[in-house]
Amino acid sequence: MNNINIKYKLGILFLILCLSIGTLAYKSINISEQNKEILKEVHSSSQEVLELQNNKITPLYKVRELTQSLVMAPNKTLRIDIENNLNELIKALDVEFELFSKDKKTIVEMWSSYKILIQEIKNDLNEGFEEAAYINETTSSRQQFNILLKALLDIQTNSLNNSTLAYNNAVIQTKTIKIGTLTSIIFILLISTIIGWLISNNIVTSIYAVQNGLKDFFDYLNHKKKSVKKIEIKSKDEFHQMATIINQNVSITQNNIEQNIEFIKNATKVLENIEQGNLGTRISKDTNNEALNELKIVINNMIDNLEFKIQEEINKRLEQEQILIQQSKLASMGEMIGNIAHQWRQPLAQISAIHMNMKVTYDFDKFTKEYMESKIKEANKLTAYMSQTISDFQNFFKPQGEKEVFSIEKACRDAYFILESSLKAHGIKVIFHITQDVTINGYKTEYSQVILNLLSNAKDILIERQIKNPKIELEIKDGNHFALVKIKDNAGGVDTSIIDKIFEPYFTTRHQTQGTGIGLYMSKNIIERNMHGYINVVNVEDGALFTVKVDKEIKN
């Protein structure tokens, strides 16, 4: 049963029907033979039934069968033979239906309507519309066939009723034959019912399998299920072919959905990277969805454009920073010259005093060779000190080199040395609080410049505010991973309205001729970018406290 096509299953049912009708006709003839008087009437009625069955109903079923075969035919060559046979049957039926009496005109019209539908099926097939022909054959044509068949069967029923009357009379006389006939009919009906149930059950089971498979698929599309089961149909009929096609399409759709999900996950990850500032990733997944592929191109182009704009902005910032650095260097140069002047002022005064002493000694005729050599040595010592001062300044302001291991205390004292004379000239006391020196691996020159900027800013604000007993305290602390330097003054602290802005470029509370406002900005960049630390300021008691914290082992 599973290996039989549906059309053959229906053919079996049709054959059983024909056998049932043939059996009834045969039994009717046997009954008629039992009574000669009734034989004529039974024979007449039976002939009419047989004529209707053989010349109209049976050919009509053949027309129906040929029409179905025409629709199911796999190629045009087979259709030509089937169509020729169909045309011959239609011509024969035209003759038979023309023999109907005028009171059966409606049946003739039904036959004409059914012929029109058959012609439409042939036209659809000739034009290549197999689906339309199939739909017509299974709907309109079948409906008209059933209407026509019912009318013929009604006529046949009337004839059979007449035969039944005669048959009832004959039955009274032939009870034995009746029992045999009834037994045969029951047997045929039982066999027909069993076979019909098996065929219908097989078809219904296949329909349920397809229905449940499609329900699972729609549940999957609606996110009610995570997977889809294949439609399993054991039979090899048209439902099996339908299930195979559905399974293939479901598999393709499921694969497309999974690709789309992977694409969305990839796009989400890329967008998360963008949110975190990482523009190095792109959407790499492809899908069969053209809209999503176009979205991929748009997003990747957007990231490329964004990356270009960011790089362009970075280049602008770097260019601005170079300008800031140049301005800082010019400002530092002016401060350096002022500090050198402070350092040279006392030695120059001493050299001048030596010259005056030598002149007075010469005027009093006490100028001796020993005296001259002594004063020359004294002057040479002072000039050597001045030369060493220049060398110290040059080393302090030399460009950044490779990382080196250096002492935090030494870096702070080098910065203090640059300002020492200026600080002393203004009566500013500098106090070092060093419980333990800290050694770090980093850029000593840059670190010293940061300390110099903080000391210089503290000196300037103490002078500007004319603080009595001005002082600066510098404290060094050693941590497990960080080195800490705190620089505190007693200048009254930073105005709370600007304390959050003092590390911004060009921000200064002094006149433009007194500062560029980039010293603290450059200090912040050096500590945070080059030394992986941080610098901040808070107000404490009577002054401001700057904290510089750097990693003891600076990574590249």
Evaluate whether residue 446 is within a structural domain: yes
Domain boundary among 174, 206, 238: 206
User: Which single residue is written with the structure tokens 């349920």?
Assistant: 208
For residues 36-48, average pLDDT: 66
Query: For residue 461, which of 544, 527, 530, 349 has the smallest C-alpha distance?
Result: 544
Output the pLDDT for position 549: 94
Q: How many whole angstroms separate alpha carbon 67 and alpha carbon 484?
A: 100
Output the pLDDT for position 407: 93
Which is higher by pLDDT, 415 or 259?
415
Residue 48, burial from CB neighbour count under 10 angstroms (0-12, 13-18, 19+): middle
Evaluate whether residue 425 is within a structural domain: yes
- pLDDT, tens digit (0-9, with 9 covering 90-100), for 279-337: 667 877 777 777 777 777 878 787 777 777 777 777 776 676 566 555 555 555 565 56
Give the least confident one: 33-42, 217-226, 480-489, 528-537.
33-42
Domain boundary among 167, 189, 206: 206
3-state secondary structure of 543: strand
User: Does the pTM exceed 0.95?
Assistant: no
Output the pLDDT for position 511: 40
Full residue range of the structural domain in which residue 21 is found: 6-206
pLDDT band at 516 (very low <50, low <70, confident <90, very high): very low
Residue 165 has pLDDT above 90, yes or no: no
Evaluate whether residue 498 is within a structural domain: yes
Output the pLDDT for position 19: 76
Domain boundary among 175, 206, 237: 206
Residue 546 has pLDDT above 80, yes or no: yes
Beta-strand pair 429-434/471-478: parallel
Strand partners, 476: 434, 485
- Supply the DSSP symbol for 229: P
Evaluate whether residue 433 is within a structural domain: yes
Residue 517 has pLDDT above 50, yes or no: no
Output the pLDDT for position 445: 82
Give the least confident one: 91-95, 171-175, 341-345, 472-476.
341-345
Evaluate whether residue 256 is within a structural domain: no
Q: Where are the alpha helices (DSSP H) in 364-396?
A: 369-396
68-71 long-range Cβ contacts below 8 angstroms, 24+ apart: 68/7, 68/137, 69/7, 70/121, 70/122, 70/125, 71/121, 71/125, 71/130, 71/133, 71/134, 71/137
Give the least confident one: 50-64, 139-153, 200-214, 431-445.
200-214
Residue 525 has pLDDT above 80, yes or no: yes
Evaluate whether residue 481 is within a structural domain: yes
CATH of the domain at 430: 3.30.565.10
Indicate the helix (H) or strand (E) that contains 175: helix 175-221
Phi, psi (deg, nearest 5) at residue 283:
-75, 120
User: Which single residue is written with the structure tokens 């702070």?
Assistant: 412
Output the pLDDT for position 490: 95
Give the count of domains, the chain. 2
For residues 184-188, average pLDDT: 78
Give the least confident one: 293-297, 429-433, 449-453, 496-500.
293-297
3-state secondary structure of 35: coil
Output the pLDDT for position 305: 79
Indicate the helix (H) or strand (E) that contains 440: strand 439-442
For residues 398-410, average pLDDT: 78
Output the pLDDT for position 467: 93
Which is higher by pLDDT, 399 or 125?
125
Strand partners, 432: 474
Q: How many whole angstroms separate alpha carbon 506 and alpha carbon 499?
A: 14
Output the pLDDT for position 489: 96
What would the two tokens of residue 118 be?
């058959």
Query: For residue 415, which of 363, 442, 367, 450 has the smallest C-alpha distance?
Result: 450
Evaluate whether residue 413 is within a structural domain: yes
Q: How many whole angstroms separate alpha carbon 475 and alpha carbon 465?
A: 24
In the chain, what's the furthest Cα-to-Cα distance? 193
Residue 257 has pLDDT above 80, yes or no: no
Give the least confident one: 23-32, 188-197, 524-533.
23-32
Which is higher by pLDDT, 427 or 55?
427
How high does pLDDT run on average in the chain?
78
- Amino acid occupying residue 414: D
Q: How many whole angstroms separate alpha carbon 405 and alpha carbon 511?
A: 39
Output the pLDDT for position 234: 72
pLDDT band at 466 (very low <50, low <70, confident <90, very high): very high
Output the pLDDT for position 345: 63
Q: How many whole angstroms separate alpha carbon 363 and alpha carbon 365?
A: 5
Query: For residue 34, which of 158, 168, 184 has the smallest C-alpha distance?
Result: 168
Evaluate whether residue 296 is within a structural domain: no
Angle 51-57-63 from CA coordinates, rounded to 5°: 130
Q: How many whole angstroms separate alpha carbon 393 and alpha carbon 167?
A: 141
Write the DSSP string, 251-269: HHHHHHHHHHHHHHHHHHH
